[in-house]
Amino acid sequence: MKIIKTSNKYPNLEEILAHVDSLKLYAENKDITPAIKCTIDNLPTSRQIQLHMSNEEIKILWETVDWLWKKITGKDIISESTIIEKPDTLIGNYWIFNKGILLSGINHYTIIKNNASFICSLLGINGFALQQYLHQDPNNLMKFIIDNGGIRMFVRTNREMFAQLSPQTYRNWGKKKLKTYDFHKKILKLIGPNSKYNGWNSGIDIIIG
């Protein structure tokens, strides 16, 4: 099993724009210090960034955005994350994301908590929305990640695999990805967007080869 550490100091432009928009939205709806609010208000708009800023200016902007995010949340936007690439053996808890990225951890909640910013970048979701879900019932958090394209997976020591994913993720890439793993048994549970989520008991069972 190959485990690598990743740290993407300068993400792509779309991710930077998403984080700038998230900060501006947060400043409009939350009570923050005047200095932080002033700095956020002075951030350029998405249009200004795209049309008028050079690559070097965007790098400087990113450092400002990263600083603001850390001041508000206490964490870097993209911290070092454990990614398992081309694994030989999988046992335990994982989240799978498009492009073959797997994150492992003690449990599914901890994986999300420890890699929140990275997951936001992978799924294109609002970082502050995810922070709110982290303080709710864990089942709400699981459902939020599944609805937005993550696959929750657990593998037993006997090589039985259980996974939960949305029908859209299943159709788009999930089925194809999960079929590549050599497990003794694969049970998928499809979680509809309007379905009530209650842990591993939720979803419609599908067994794939």
Would you call 76 exposed, middle or buried from its count of C-beta atoms within 10 A (0-12, 13-18, 19+)? middle
Q: How many Å apart are CA 188 and CA 161, to the nearest integer?
A: 8
Per residue in 191-200, pLDDT (tens digit) is 999 989 999 9
Contact 148, 112 (CB under 8 A): no
10-residue stretch averages of pLDDT, the chain, 209 residues long: 38 75 76 84 87 83 84 64 51 86 87 85 86 91 96 91 95 91 89 92 86
The answer, as to whether pTM is greater than 0.75, is no
Closest CA to 62 of 10, 23, 25: 10
